[in-house]
Amino acid sequence: MLDTTPLITAVERLADRLRAAPQSRLQRGAAAEGLATARELSARAQRAESPGREPRVMPDAGMFAVGDQLMVAGRDLAVALETAPSAELDEAVRYVEEAAARAFA
């Protein structure tokens, strides 16, 4: 079983930053980046769990919920990747870290 701790750590770090960010920062793009990241992680989890099925798009629950949406999507993906090749996990971690850099540049 694959250790998904690096993914959970990266997701928690970004989610915490989003939750703590002031409204002005969220409005300047951090929330949009967080939602895009949550949607991508959710889609990856759905593809891993149900290959060949079109992933459902995570709804926009508002800028103040994006940290929670990211946590749900990240944890879903971590569970889905527990039996996947480690390259998929490494790519997901890299994706979250790059999203964090964009959101808080």
* pTM of this prediction exceeds 0.85: yes
Q: What residue spans of the chain are helical by DSSP H? A: 5-20, 23-25, 31-49, 66-81, 86-103
Tens digit of each residue's pLDDT (9 = 90 or more) over 43-97: 999 999 999 999 999 999 999 999 999 999 999 999 999 988 889 999 999 999 9
* C-alpha dist (Å) from residue 12 to 31, 53, 55, 79, 97: 15, 28, 23, 15, 11
Tens digit of each residue's pLDDT (9 = 90 or more) over 2-59: 899 999 999 999 999 999 999 999 999 999 999 999 999 999 999 999 999 999 999 9
